[in-house]
Amino acid sequence: MMATTSADIANLEAIATRCRAHILRMTHRAAAGHPGGSLSEIDILVALYFSRLNVDPDKPKLEERDRFILSKGHASPGMYAVLAEKGFITEEDLSSYRVLGGVCQGHVDMKWTPGIDFSAGSLGMGLSFGMGTAIAARLDGSERSTWVMIGDGEMQEGSIWEAAMAAAHHELGNLTVFVDKNNIQNDDFVEVQMRMFDIPAKWAGFGWAVRECDGHDMQQILDAIAWADSITDRPAVIIANTIKGKGISYMENNPAFHGAAPNDEQLGIGLAELGLFEVGA
Amino acid sequence: MSRMAATRDGYGQGLLNISDDERVVVLEADLGKSTKSLHFRKQFPERTVSCGIGEQNMMLVAAGLAASGYKPFASTFAIFTERAFEQIRNGVARPNLPVHICGSHGGTHTGTDGGSAQSIEDLAIYRTLPNMTVMHPCDDVSAAELTRQCLDLAGPSYMRTARNKTRVLHENRIDDIKIGKGIVLRDGSDVCIIACGVLVDKALEAAEKLAGDGIDAGVVDMHTLKPLDGDLINRMAASTGCIVSAEDHSIIGGLGGAIAEHLSSNHPIPLERVGVNDRFGESGQAEEMLDLLGLNTGDIIEAAHRAISRKSN
Ligand SMILES: Cc1ncc(C[n+]2csc(CCOP(=O)(O)OP(=O)(O)O)c2C)c(N)n1
């Protein structure tokens, strides 16, 4: 873990702002996609990719790389934005989002995009896969770690809890889960669709080390990552309290922007709110 | 201009049409806005069960309701019904419980979400289950009517609906729509195109173009894949001598597979299957997917020519 100064934090925040703009442009161009969950996850993704994960854009398949699994694979614009900022793909590739033959498929896909470690899109699968890569690292005697991002709606899938139980049983200290707790799923708020009750208690009951953080506060995210690294005898989960659509006023906490793209006017407003303006738009 | 509509809207309307029957219960897995069960939910929240994002649970809750005298209708995307395949197999089909499953956004026509969301195997896998009725209507009129007829079934059913709008073909023809009975949309003597779902309209287009080349092609909407309308296939086989199947689904095990099984046992004649040729889909617009995967009008026309040329004179 690198030491973090206020300049580092400001740098991470600047990257996250650029990523937010990518997310708006990508979904706007495709007139489809999932901006809400991309904007809620993006600060965490930026923190991981720019301060923690051992990955090399020139060698995306490097065996000793850390693994990041976006289990909520519909929130792919956030993932592609980070991969572009990191240099795995180009900024032009972002315009191929949801386009026939494009590098950036609708849902993240390990066969199509360099830097993607798992083909997701069907919820509830990534944690089990991450358990597999964590066991592989242990079998290899490797220090590499696995990080999995899941949604709070996604936690309703039973398979999440099969994996949670199994990862704790196998004491996978090299596995960390981020829960993007934005309180909204597809049709409505989580409270309406399926109440989750005490989420930290659930994970603790399954044998995990549990911590909460503000998923939009860079310092808190970095602290939580360092904490997860310090847990080596069991898997760790960070419940990140986030806001769906974070950073764009009309999207914030609005279920309508789970799976709807901004129109021309909304794109302009959004970019302005980020302090950016569309060049040549 | 014909009216355009999506079969998923037909399902949503169908649920409202049968809502007077108080045994009808609707189950959702966080996709009611997409499968269109949301209209029923809005009017009858007390008879709608939200199962969260938990398809495996939903199918067995439905089974329990069915075993208690209710008429459950459970929907999610076609692909995510497959998450619960074994629950459906052992908990619904084996005990022969009248659970009615609707898988929306089926096929590659679903588009830009990409391969993970495009079910091209649902019709095949549900067809393998004893007791299961399997349907894939081509328009909202037939989707609504088939949904209504599910109430008369003693056992379970699976109906695939599609996301996108296509031409409505059965306006004012409700009396022709019967589970297990194909609908002849066009008579022909040279070849018969048997299609389901979004490819029925493409089959009609193909038949019109073939007519321009002097080829007389018939078209059947085979909205029920199981039980298959073998009598109709026999009749078409006898009158045309060759058949083309067309579906937005794998050529393995779906409509083409079902027709191949039937013909080989009853009436062995040339069959050309238009469908996804043993590969996964990818992101793209609906029409682009049909072109990429060889499912469009031109592909049906070519298949018709191949089928005709294989007839032994
Ligand atoms: C197995 C499965 N069922 C249903 C869906 C459809 N779906 C896509 S996103 C979504 C809601 C996800 O909510 P959440 O996990 O909270 O994600 P976020 O809010 O972060 O976008 C649903 C139901 C799916 N992708 N996979």
Give the domain range for residue B194. Answer: 180-309
At residue B250, what are phi and psi to the nearest 5 degrees? -60, 145
Q: What is the pLDDT of residues B263-290, one digit of tens each?
A: 999 999 999 999 999 999 999 999 999 9
Measure A106 CA to nearest chain B CA, in Å: 4
B1 has pLDDT over 80: no
Are B192 and B159 in the same domain? no
Enumerate the residues of chain B whose CB falls inside 8 A of the CB of residue A112: 282
Is position B302 within any domain? yes
Domain final residue, candidates B167, B193, B223? B167
Please give the C-alpha separations between residue B240 and each of B191, B231, B234, in angstroms, as whole numbers: 5, 14, 10
Compute chain A's Rg from CA coordinates: 18
| Parallel, antiparallel or unpaired: strands B271-276 and B166-167 | unpaired
Q: What is the pLDDT of residues B116-170, one digit of tens each?
A: 999 999 999 999 999 999 999 999 999 999 999 999 999 999 999 999 999 999 9
Q: What is the pLDDT of residues B43-62, one digit of tens each?
A: 999 999 999 999 999 999 99
Fold of A6-273: Rossmann fold (3.40.50)
Are B209 and B127 in the same domain? no
Whole-angstrom Cα distance, residue B266 to residue A154? 48
- Asked if the interface predicted TM-score (ipTM) of this complex is over 0.85, the answer is yes
Q: Which of A127, A180, A194 to mutate to test the interface with B (most CBs of B within 10 A)?
A: A194
Q: Domain map of chain A by residue range?
A: 6-273
Work out the pLDDT band at A4, boundaries 50, 70, 90.
confident
Work out the pLDDT band at B184, boundaries 50, 70, 90.
very high
Measure A22 CA to nearest chain B CA, in Å: 18
CATH number, domain at B291?
3.40.50.920
Top-confidence residue, A1 or A171: A171
Instruction: For residue B55, indicate whether it is catalytic.
Output: yes
CA of B186 to the centre of ligand 1 (A): 42
Is position B155 within any domain? yes
Q: How much of chain A, in percent, has pLDDT values that exceed 90?
A: 95
Is position B172 within any domain? no
Contacts A–B by Cβ distance under 8 A: 92
Q: Do B282 and A157 touch (CB under 8 A)?
A: no
Ligand 1 atom nearest to CA at B30: 23
- pLDDT, residue B63, reads 98
Beta carbons within 8 Å of B220's beta carbon, 6+ residues apart: B182, B183, B184, B185, B192, B193, B194, B195, B232, B236
Q: How many CB atoms lie within 10 A of CB A240?
A: 26
- Which among A30, A112, A121 is the nearest to B117, CB-wise? A121
CATH number, domain at B92?
3.40.50.970
Work out the pLDDT band at A276, boundaries 50, 70, 90.
confident
- pLDDT, residue B242, reads 98
A1 has pLDDT over 90: no
How many domains, chain B?
2
Q: Do B28 and A112 touch (CB under 8 A)?
A: no
DSSP string, B94-163: TTT---EEEEESBSGGG-TT-GGG-BSSHHHHHHTSTT-EEE--SSHHHHHHHHHHGGG-SS-EEEE--S
- Which among B34, B116, B282 is the nearest to A73, CB-wise? B116
Are B162 and B15 in the same domain? yes
Is position B29 within any domain? yes
The residue assigned the tokens 């649902």 is B122
A281 has pLDDT over 50: no
Is position B83 within any domain? yes
Question: Would the pTM count as exceeding 0.95?
Answer: yes
Are B209 and B269 in the same domain? yes
Are B238 and B93 in the same domain? no
Enumerate the residues of chain B whose CB falls inside 8 A of the CB of residue A32: 112
Enumerate the residues of chain A whose CB falls inside 8 A of the CB of residue B38: 187
Is position B175 within any domain? no
Is position B260 within any domain? yes
